[in-house]
Amino acid sequence: MRLLHTMLRVGDLQRSIDFYTRILGMKVLRQSENTEYKYTLAFVGYGDESENSVLELTYNWGVDKYDQGSAYGHIALEVDNAAAACDRIREAGGKVSREAGPVKGGTTVIAFVEDPDGYKVELIEKHA
């Protein structure tokens, strides 16, 4: 078994695609529309789906906002330097919600950013 994808419902597909591609550096791997059930899917990621886990961005036509509830946590990405990644994301128009620093009770350096729908993305600094 392997993890294939994580699905996020988004309120504006192009805005989300812009965030995940332009700001976080992913690529659009494929996109499809279902006119009968009125939704559009875009799969984004850092590599081919045959070898990498990806994000499925789901836009249900006419729905521009979702209640995330209290169960959702975050997506985690490994970065070389969390502080530098925060600077790049902020300069590109992204929202940094927690600056780079050690995780509470540990030494791993993390930071958090938010996508346009408020989903949290954790940046975990690669260990040397």
Bind-site residues for Zn(2+):
56, 74, 122
CA dist., res. 124 & res. 83, Å (int): 10
How do 120-125 and 75-79 pair as beta strands?
Answer: parallel
The answer to whether the beta carbons of residues 121 and 24 sit under 8 Å apart is: yes
Q: Looking at the annotation, which residues are catalytic?
A: 122
Q: Which residues contact 5 (CB under 8 A, 6 or more apart)?
A: 43, 49, 53, 54, 55, 56
State whether residue 23 is helix, strand or coil: helix
User: Which residue numbers belong to the known binding site?
Assistant: 56, 74, 122
What gap in Å lies between CA 35 and CA 59, rounded to an integer? 12
Name the 3-class secondary structure at 58.
strand
